[in-house]
């Protein structure tokens, strides 16, 4: 499969997550390239409900590599909570499966305090 980009033009909620999930079966790498944890999508796979805010949904497939790109605004606390929820559901989020760009923007506690 060549490179495929899924872009929404309706300010969210147009079903991009479901399209990405359908395309993931043919992909080697699934990338979240921009946005933050305020956005998200929900998938039901094997009767289990998964809610994603930062981690690409490709993490549900053991043979996929997932990347959080430099355009993503990452709240480390939210990222760790998402990893924990996935682990509780039996999804492996191990090094080598999930990569975080060293240039991704971080939301620090002082950002929240100032907001």
Question: Mind spelling out the 3-state secondary structure of the chain?
Answer: CCCCCCCCCCCCCCCHHHHHHHHHCCCCEEEEEEEECCCCEEEEECCEEEEECCCCHHHHCCCCEEEEEEEEEECHHHHHHHHHHHHHCCCCCCCCCEEECCCCEECCHHHHHHC
Q: Does the annotation count 53 as an active-site position?
A: no
Which entry of 13, 28, 84, 111 is annotated as an active-site residue?
13
Active-site residue, selected from the candidate residues 21, 41, 75, 115: 41
- Residue 13 annotated to the active site: yes
Give catalytic residues, as residue numbers.
13, 41
């Amino acid at each position: 499969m060549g490179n495929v980009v899924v872009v929404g033009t309706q300010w969210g909620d147009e079903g991009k997550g479901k399209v990405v999930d359908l395309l993931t079966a043919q992909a080697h790498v699934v990338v979240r390239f921009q946005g933050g944890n305020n956005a998200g999508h929900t998938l039901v796979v094997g009767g289990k409900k998964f809610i994603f805010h930062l981690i690409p949904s490709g993490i549900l497939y053991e043979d996929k590599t997932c990347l959080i790109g430099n355009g993503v605004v990452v709240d480390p606390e939210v990222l760790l909570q998402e990893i924990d929820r996935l682990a509780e559901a039996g999804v492996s989020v191990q090094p080598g499966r999930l990569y975080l760009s060293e240039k991704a923007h971080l939301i620090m506690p002082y950002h929240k305090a100032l907001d």
